[in-house]
Amino acid sequence: MALPAVGGAGIAVKSATEDLRLQPEELEEPPLPQVTEILDVNGKKFAQFYYENRESVSLDQVAPIMQQAIIAIEDFRFYEHGAIDLEGTLRALVKNLTSGGITEGGSSITQQYVKQVLVNAAENKEDQDAAVEASLTRKLNELRHAMAIEQKYTKDQILERYLNIAYFGAGAHGIQAASKRFFDKPASKLELHEAATLAAAVQNPSSTDPNVSKAQRKRLQDRRNLVLDRMAELKKISKEEAEAAKKRKLGWKDTEMPGGCEQSKYAYFCMYTRYEILNNRQFGKTPEERERRLVRGGLTIKTTLDPKMQKAAEKAIRKYAYPSDKPVVSEAMIVPGTGEIRAMAASRTYGNKGKKNEMGYNVVADEAHGGAIGFQTGSTAKVYTLVAALEKGMKLSDGFSSGNVYYAPSASAFRDCKNNLVGIPGHPVRNSSEGGGGFQNLQTGTWNSVNTFFMQLQQRVGLCDTVKTAEKLGMKRANGEKLEQVETFTLGVNESDPVTVANSYATIAARGKYCEPMAITEIRERDGKTKTYKPKCKEVLDPEVADAANHILSGVFTKGTMRDKGNIGRDAAGKTGTTDDYTAAWFAGYTPDLAAAVSIGDTRGAFTHDLTNVTIGGTSYTHMYGSSIAGPVWVESMRAALAGTRATSFVPVNMARFGGCASSCAPKPVKKEPRNGGDGDIDTGGGDGDGGDADSQGENGADRRFDRNFGDERPITPVE
């Protein structure tokens, strides 16, 4: 090996091969990390994930001038020598041995490819260091692998692999990513001065990274000019072409290559999709394996996101709330009968910049999908009691005489599903205003959201059956824990998220067909293999029970708490939800074709930062009701989301089954004695009543779970 590289080259190679046993050694080549793309329903990319920003291309997709530039500066005899470049490698080895260290590279493109493969295959820092350590052992192993690579591939194939694995700086791995990052164009369109720049960047990308500083860009330009001189010297270009190219500016475009959800156009949906992959064992046995597949696998993930509906939700939210507001308005839209999530939007931007009031988690979803604990759902939970009552055979006109205050008659009035007594006889549940007494049936009690009526209804239906109804419709707490089974369950003590609430309502819209929320419809592997995903659904409710619920909840828009908030021009049903002490506000509703839920709350703490005397979207609110912002956002977003689509009607209620009343009919009118000779009037046993809302006991009760009582606003009284 100490023999001169020139003149005795043949003898030197023979000696090195025999003494050092340089035999080809197979190199394991794991797939290169590739960018994973997330697509909407129209096939348009809205997010991407990557460990390394790389987009592999074939050699014919790389401009010939780029191929010439990289060969000229890195290995000009590439197409002439084998695995070992006698004039380069031996000269470098002799110099390194006589100098006592590694002072010269001399690596061929094949050897450089081998080194990059070993670096990419390293799973820890120790393996990475070993792949680039300055030692003769590492160099010899590299040569053995290079010999095997030369036997395995043609020169063009080796060059293609090298161009796809090489790092060019600025976070760009591979020639295609580098071309887009540096010059905002594909590698096939590179010009001479650009090709020379990228060829220059390969040698020491950390010192010539144009993204770092002007000094780095100056070093890159100087190195580019050396490449141009070398190309002219090798007669790949003329001296005139080289001089003309050297006069060109560097041309650094600094084209951002967004990665992760923070830089996605639809960040909250992106987060949901990401967690769908990370949480699902069908995408990998361990979380680490699933994460690796997501950021390295080069997957193409098609989702259920509809940009039209997404924009409808965003526009409606922006009309009523500002990104700078501390309270956040969020909305999810879901297709009944499939569970496909069409939109996830919020008034605050996703990110970690507190000064910009960004959100650091997915406020639209549950904890399992990047969210947090959610907000208490208020009177939207009354729907589950209503459905349970209809399942038990109650009719539209069945009801009770409800007072202004409700007390559980005994602890046994409410039993959870373990048969524990959870009633609190001394705890008052009040409506939101004076009045509210008189007879209420399933319809009027729902339209006016009367707290005392629903407490009586839950008592009759049974707490456990009400909870089971909510669960089978898909209701759960945002933190993943089981629903709290307390006396005031029907008034919405459980915290949840818009996706979950919208999906539970979608089950009723689909006539009792529950479907798991769904964000991913197809995943295509880098090799083209594709797997499609179908909705996971089951029948959980008698369709005629759902029809009756639809009939009652439709009246919320015409006779109840939303009657002065507009309509969407088609059959719709829903329920407002305002929490005790105005800590949160909701509206959840649906048509036969689309369901949505809108929530409002302050993520700093709903009880310490309630929605009283608050300004949102430039408008001041003394008290925030479900119909103040959430209801109007729902109406406007749904109207825009469904614009241009055929309206579908609800199936009419079976009046033979649900019409009239059974055993809980309204009291018969009593004719009063006439006064002063008048004709008298008829007392029907009480007015329609006003909506139920805040429990006046506030936070002074014995247990917050029991003191959080909910209802909704008076249907006629203005709130602004």
- The pLDDT tens digits for 212-263 are 999 999 999 999 999 999 999 999 999 999 999 999 999 999 998 888 898 8
Q: Check pLDDT > 60 for residue 119.
A: yes
Mean pLDDT of the chain: 87
- pTM for the full model? 0.81
> Using one digit for the tens of pLDDT, what is the confidence trace for 366-401?
999 999 999 999 999 999 999 999 999 999 999 999
Domains of the chain in sequence order? 55-246 (1.10.3810.10), 375-665+688-707 (3.40.710.10)
pLDDT given for residue 671 in this prediction = 62
Q: What is the 3-state secondary structure (H, E, C) of 330-360?
A: EEEEECCCCCEEEEEEECCCECCCHHHCCEC
608 pLDDT band, cuts 50/70/90, is confident
d(CA 68, CA 608): 67
What does the DSSP assignment read for 8-57?
SHHHHHHHHHHHTT--------PPPPB-EEEE-TTS-EEEEE-SSB----
8 A C-beta contact, residue 84 and residue 13: yes
CB atoms within 10 A of CB 713: 28
> Using one digit for the tens of pLDDT, what is the confidence trace for 552-564?
999 999 999 899 8
Report the length, in residues, of the chain.
Answer: 720
pLDDT given for residue 691 in this prediction = 42
pLDDT given for residue 420 in this prediction = 97
Query: What pairing do the DSSP bridges indicate for beta strands 573-578 and 584-590?
Result: antiparallel
> Using one digit for the tens of pLDDT, what is the confidence trace for 450-464?
999 999 999 999 999
pLDDT given for residue 697 in this prediction = 33
What does the DSSP assignment read for 444-489?
HHHHTT-HHHHHHHHHHH-HHHHHHHHHHTT---TTSPPPP--TTG
pLDDT given for residue 163 in this prediction = 97
pLDDT given for residue 281 in this prediction = 87
User: Poorest-confidence range of 164-168, 398-402, 430-434?
Assistant: 430-434
What is the average per-residue pLDDT within 5-13? 45
* Residue 712: closest CA among 401, 427, 445: 445
Q: Check pLDDT > 60 for residue 272.
A: yes
| Alpha-carbon distances, residue 332 vs 329, 346, 572, 713 (angstroms) | 11, 9, 16, 23
pLDDT given for residue 87 in this prediction = 66
Tokens of 49: 């994930």
Q: Check pLDDT > 50 for residue 716.
A: no
Residues facing residue 522 across a β-bridge: 302, 532
Q: Check pLDDT > 60 for residue 444.
A: yes
> Using one digit for the tens of pLDDT, what is the confidence trace for 666-699?
887 766 555 544 333 333 333 333 344 443 333 3
Q: Check pLDDT > 90 for residue 640.
A: yes
Q: What is the dihedral of CA 470, 471, 477, 483, to 10 degrees?
A: 80
8 A C-beta contact, residue 192 and residue 65: yes
